[in-house]
Amino acid sequence: MTLSVDARKSFGGFALDAKFTSSGRLTALFGPSGGGKTTLVNLIAGLERPDGGRIAVDDAVVFDRHAAIDLPTHRRRVGYVFQDGRLFPHLTVRGNLLYGRRLTPRHERWGSLDRIVAMLGIGSLLRRRPASLSGGEKQRVAIGRALLASPRLLLMDEPLAALDQARKEEIIPYVERLRDEMRLPIVYVSHAIEEVARLADTIVLVAGGRVIATGSVNDILARADLRRHTGQAEASVVLLTRVVGHDPGAGVTVVEHSAGRLTLPLLADAAGAIVRLRLRARDIALAVGDPGRLSIRNLLAATVVEIAAAAPPFVEVRLDIAGDPLVASITRDAARALELRPGLPVTALIKSSALDRFSFGHGAVPATE
Amino acid sequence: MFDSLDPAEWTAIWLSLRVSLVATIGALPLGLLAAFLLARGRFPGRSLLDGLVHLPLVMPPVVTGYLLLLAFGRKGPVGIFLERAFGIVLAFRWTGAALAAGIMGLPLMVRAMRLSLEAVDRRLEAAAATLGGNVAVVLLTITLPLMLPGILAGMVLCFARALGEFGATITFVGNIPGVTQTIPTAIYTDIQVPGGDPAALRLTVIAVVLAFAALLASDALARRVGGRMLGS
């Protein structure tokens, strides 16, 4: 799937001029509130009309100013999960779920009510009314309703923003399953970097009505020149690791990366499962030569690639760990004392306590091209 | 008490109910259309339409009745057209009473429907569109069901107003027993003649009972519709 968007729209003193293409499985539209992300997904869904440009999902053009194409929303087959759920209050959960399915021609349907209900764990809610559901339940039903309309693209506009942390943790695994099992391309709007780092494979950075950058999660999060948008403290990379085994007695799970093994707080994932790990630059220390006896158990063999300037007193050291990028934030003094230079082999040290449960994602995400 | 009603009074009651029912049903599509135009429409002349719909509410009913007579009477332009084209005569017939009652009830009906339409969350309609609903489907499955309490309330108000219509009715179709005499005009006749008070009182009680029944019925309906949406 390739989504290509080139859209212009101005209204009330705000001008949106956004252009990006993405072939990612989960493309995050990331950026500050008021930057135009929601407008962008509304343009893709056809809920708002661009002043100009072209929007296409694969070879299906849904809007093209020059060719005078403007497919109405109901014919775009673009699913939409709204921030506020927007379940129909006069229908049961079942009625909500089947609303779009009944409107989808038989030969275009995929998935079944049973399968999607099971995947989202909403079987016990079918006869309830939306007003009696919790926030997390509402969002799960909203996701199921969108899926059952058999869309070719799913838009999710801050689907977790209205939920508390516990409810977010409840929904995120379902989004991961959508991404990995349903093979449905997703455009996911968020201003929360930890959600994006956990879920996305491609990031489209949107601010001030423009696309600032497009790239893989690691490209965007590691770029020092985007720190203004991604957050100074948020320089990070996402590593894919594989679960080696658990030690419930010690309360740890060991995962493996080609550059070394990492010890994490105990996870539920089976051995062999892929775990996405977000490592923040500020949580990584560097050692040259034998680090000696340490309390830190997570050591990764790395090579210095580049030492980039950052806000004093720090520098960002870009590393290569068996082909994957890693960024460490250390002081300029330390970099000088260690005589860091490109090509130097070092050891990256990560405290286990830096890897809290918000740092993990589950399931595989291939690198984007 | 009911066995003391004479046949003429029964006729007036049935006629009132029939006139009010036909008036309400006839006003429904017009009322819905006006409510949609006023709540959602953006067109020149919207204020004019708003005024026109509300005119019967503020004009003396006699004036409305007289205007109806001028337009729909046997010598009025619309009346002549209707009689020639369809053989329909409204003046001094019960159908004319229904027309007068419908026009008098329309403003109340439109008001209730418009308010309920304005309360419908348009974002739900947008959500329905993303699920594949075209304009007609969204209207039938989302908008109208969500405004159902308002539609019911508007119909009850219109029905009650039609039941009580006097001025426009008596001006347009007169007060002919068995033909156009409704409960209010029958009461009027009764109190005009010496010794008519008991008859007037009987009809008055009937009018009160009917009005009450309509209100209770609409209340119960609205509660059922509203309760459904609150998850019970």
Beta bridge partners of A360: A277
Using the Cβ of B230 and the Cβ atoms of chain A, whether some distance falls under 8 Å is answered with: yes
Residues in chain A: 369
SS3 for B32? helix
Contacts of B133 in chain A (CB under 8 A): 74, 99-100, 103
Determine the pLDDT at residue B19.
Answer: 94
Angle, CA of A63, A64 and A70, to the nearest 5°:
40
pLDDT the model gives residue A143? 94
* Res B232: pLDDT: 39
Which residue of A42, A57, A83, A90 to mutate against B (max B Cβ within 10 Å)?
Answer: A90
What residues have CB less than 8 Å from A95, skipping those under 6 apart?
A88
Residues within 8 A of A (CB atoms), B 142-161 only? 142, 145-146, 148
Please give the domain boundaries of chain A with CATH numbers for all domains.
Answer: 3-228 (3.40.50.300), 237-362 (2.40.50.100)
Report the candidate in B23, B35, B112, B25 with the shortest Cα–Cα distance to residue B68.
B23
CATH superfamily of B2-120+147-229: MetI-like (1.10.3720.10)
The separation between CA B158 and the C-alpha centre of its own chain, rounded to angstroms, equals 3
The pLDDT value given to residue B126: 96
Could you list the pLDDT tens digit for every one of the 369 residues in chain A?
789 999 999 988 889 999 999 988 899 999 888 888 999 999 999 999 999 999 999 888 999 998 999 999 999 999 999 998 899 999 999 999 999 999 999 988 888 899 999 989 999 999 999 999 998 899 999 999 999 999 999 999 999 988 888 888 888 888 988 888 877 899 999 988 888 888 998 999 999 899 999 998 888 887 777 877 877 667 788 888 888 888 888 888 888 888 888 888 888 777 888 888 888 888 888 988 877 788 888 888 899 998 888 778 888 898 988 888 888 989 998 888 888 889 889 999 988 777 766 667 776 554 443
Given this model, what pLDDT does residue B229 score? 63
- Work out the burial of residue B198: count CB atoms within 10 Å of its CB; fewer than 13 is exposed, 13-18 middle, 19 or more buried: exposed
Are residues A73 and B123, on separate chains, in Cβ contact within 8 Å?
A: no
Which residue, among A86, A93, A155, would best test binding to B if mutated, counting the most B CBs under 10 Å from its CB?
A86
pLDDT computed for residue A224 by the predictor: 73
The pLDDT of residue A369 is 35
Residues of chain B with pLDDT under 70: 1-3, 226-232
What is the count of residue pairs from A and B with beta carbons less than 8 Å apart? 75
Measured CA to CA, the distance from residue A272 to residue A256 in angstroms comes to 10
Contact residues, chain A to chain B, C-beta under 8 Å: 45-47, 72-80, 82, 84, 86, 88-90, 99-100, 103-104, 128-132, 145-146, 149
Residue of B nearest to A93 (CA): B231
Contact A80 B141 (CB under 8 A): no
Please tell me if residue B47 touches chain A, with a CB cutoff of 8 Å: no
| pLDDT confidence of residue A356 | 67
> Looking at the complex, does the CB of residue B76 fall below 8 Å from at least one CB of chain A?
no
Alpha carbon of A333: minimum distance to chain B alpha carbons (Å): 56
Domain ranges of chain B: 2-120+147-229
Spatial distance between the Cα atoms of A350 and A286, rounded to a whole number of angstroms: 9
- Mark yes or no for CB contact A74/B134 under 8 Å: yes
Which residues in chain A are contacts of B139 at CB distance < 8 A?
none
Chain B residues within 8 A of A81 when measuring between CB atoms: none
- Give the model's pLDDT for residue A306: 87
pLDDT recorded at residue A232? 63
Give the strands of the sheet with A78-81, arranged side by side.
A69-70, A60-64, A52-57, A3-11, A14-22, A210-216, A202-207, A26-30, A186-190, A153-157, A78-81
